[in-house]
Amino acid sequence: MEGQRRLGPRERLKAMTWVREALLFAAGIALFLFGMMRLSEEVQQYLSNVRIRQFFRLAVKRPLYGLITGIVTTILFQSSTATSVLVVGMVSAGLMSFYRSLAIILGADVGATVTVQLVVWKVNALSPVIVFFGGMIWRFGGERWKKIGEGIFYFGLIFFGLELVSMATEPFKESAAMASMFRLADHPLLGLAIGVATASAVASSAIPITILVVLAHHGVISLSHALPIVFGANIGTAVTALLASLTANVNGKRTALSHFLFKLIGALLCMLALPLFMRAVTVLSPEVPQQIAFGHLLFNLFIVTFFFFLLQPFSYLVERIIPGKVETLPIWPEFLDEKCLQNPEAALEQVRKELRRQMYLVRQMCVESMRLISSFEEGRARDIRYLELVVNNLKRELNRYLMKISRGGLAVELSGKLFAYSGIADDIERIGNHAVSVVGLVRDKRRGNIEFTKWAHAEIDEIAGLIVQNLEDTVTLLDGSSSELVSRIFSREDRVDRLVREARKRHQERYHTGACQPDAGPIFVEMILRLERMSDHCENIAEYARELK
């Protein structure tokens, strides 16, 4: 078209180069986030299933242990955000007190500096080798080595993504536009805002700070421009946990707010002392990339030093800002006293008390899972998952304790009680498993935009109401056997079985007449069957109780 200048070969090549570098940069960020997310999931699953008891025991004993736990966990996760969200969830579920969570949060911030330091040491240059060996172990290793290989693979993927970012930003050192952009961002407050926005957008402080290190390697950015962005990125990383806490309870909100305040107050104080902070960093290293890494480390060490000895008054202040009281649930047994093992009868009485507490927690799981059917909230679903960890842990501890009792040589009556208590512990855990399955079905229903009919909701409500009553009577039954309670549980179980059969039949009629969504059928049927099985296990417990009478 006349008046429009066509691009020459050199300009077209330059434009194509910029597009290529932009895509390479975006791919690097995507690989980093994917690797970090998958590594976090693998480590979290390992902590949850294998070492969760030791994790909690260490974390809640003393603030110093919590600090160390936060550092180690974040190094394993390669993300302070993942640690913070995990801790907010644990506090929200009642597995950890608000006060005990604060030291872990502080430790997580220090652990997050390791990733940046590894980039300074150019570990990302070795990332293809790490990815290759991790993938080989994952593919060809034995069952135990597969998980290790998978973790190594995702760890390497994080730094391979950063290597792509480094390759994409190398041309920036020759770019006048890039130099001009940093001149425009010369004001420290603007740099702070850039750091907050970037880290909030990608849910990680590691990405913007490691990009700064990469740019510094290429001589694109100076320390004076980088430090405010580092401070802002540390604030931004707290925003993700703050958003995750919107569905948490009072204590979960307190933990997330505390994390945000740690970062915000620390950033404001460091901004006020920015010239002094810069001098301290330049003394530690003459190289700008290392100075940025040290700046990130010193910032978080300053926050730890400033707040660690003020955790008690700080927690009191936050409790005044967000008032409320939440029960904390010990993950380990409260009643299984090793001293009682000398007296088998007394030891079995301790088991009964622990079984009641386990049943109470399972009742809470089931009630919450049923509430999610009509109104799903991811935060409440996460709380149920954490409660399952407590219930599963209690079962393991109960089985160990019962095994120790059995070694003492028991009378026939006590042997029968021990056998019954072992069965009851198994039934209680299975009830909790069904509650978790209901949560999974509700999540599938939500993701598929599947709606139940009003008749289906009415049928679920009627069945759920009977099951809640059975759960409550089962809790009471563990205080002492009662013929009346046992009869009520049996009677309701018969009604639940009949209602489930009728609901399935009516659903089939609705399906054939087109009154319900086709996708709703399998979820609805599976859901009422899971509810029925909760009641089945309540009946099993009632049968054990009747035999013990």
Domains of the chain (ranges, CATH numbers): 9-321 (no CATH), 338-548 (1.20.58.220)
In sequence order, what are the residues at sequence separation of 6 or more whose Cβ sits closer than 8 angstroms to the Cβ of residue 69?
55, 58, 59, 104, 107
C-beta separation of 172 from 178 below 8 A: yes
Give the span between the Cα atoms of 246 and 243, in whole angstroms: 6
Q: Is the pLDDT of residue 468 over 90?
A: yes
pLDDT of residue 470: 94
Q: Which of 248, 247, 241, 243 is nearest to 94 (CA)?
A: 248
In sequence order, what are the residues at sequence separation of 6 or more whose Cβ sits closer than 8 angstroms to the Cβ of residue 280?
298
pLDDT of residue 411: 80
pLDDT of residue 409: 74
CB-CB neighbours of 374 under 10 Å = 12
Q: Which of 80, 164, 101 is nearest to 128 (CA)?
A: 164
Per the listing, tokens 């109960």 go with 398
Torsion of CA 152, 158, 163, 164, to 10 degrees: 120
pLDDT interval class at 1 (50, 70, 90): very low
Say whether 181 sits in a helix, a strand or coil: helix
| Exposure string over 123-146, b if 16+ CB within 10 A, otherwise e | bbeebeebbeebbebbeeeeeeee
Cα 28 to Cα 23, 160, 202: the distances in Å are: 8, 7, 13
Per residue in 49-65, pLDDT (tens digit) is 545 555 555 666 677 88
Give the span between the Cα atoms of 92 and 380, in whole angstroms: 9
Give the span between the Cα atoms of 425 and 419, in whole angstroms: 10
Question: Encoding tokens for residue 464?
Answer: 């759920």
Give the span between the Cα atoms of 212 and 205, in whole angstroms: 11
Please calculate the CA angle 66-70-75 and round it to the nearest 5 degrees. Answer: 150
Give the span between the Cα atoms of 466 and 500, in whole angstroms: 12
Region of poorest pLDDT, from 25-29, 127-131, 230-234: 25-29
Q: Is the pLDDT of residue 297 over 60?
A: yes
Torsion of CA 449, 455, 461, 462, to 10 degrees: -160
Per residue in 358-402, pLDDT (tens digit) is 999 999 999 999 999 988 887 788 788 878 878 888 888 899 999
Question: Encoding tokens for residue 533?
Answer: 């099985």
Region of poorest pLDDT, from 181-185, 412-416, 479-483: 181-185
Q: Which of 456, 508, 119, 157 is nearest to 297 (CA)?
A: 119
More confident residue, 174 or 307: 307
pLDDT of residue 8: 56
More confident residue, 237 or 279: 279
pLDDT of residue 441: 94
Of the CA atoms within 13 Å of residue 40, those in its CB half-sphere come to 19
Of the CA atoms within 13 Å of residue 329, those in its CB half-sphere come to 25
Give the span between the Cα atoms of 545 and 416, in whole angstroms: 11
| Rg of the chain over all Cα atoms, to the nearest angstrom | 28
Q: Which of 504, 537, 534 is nearest to 437 (CA)?
A: 534
| Position 303, amino acid | I
C-beta separation of 179 from 224 below 8 A: no
CB neighbour class for 86 (10 Å; exposed up to 12, middle 13-18, buried from 19)? buried
Give the span between the Cα atoms of 388 and 378, in whole angstroms: 15
CB neighbour class for 385 (10 Å; exposed up to 12, middle 13-18, buried from 19)? middle
C-beta separation of 401 from 334 below 8 A: no
Q: Is the pLDDT of residue 310 over 50?
A: yes
Considering the chain, what is the average pLDDT of its residues?
Answer: 82
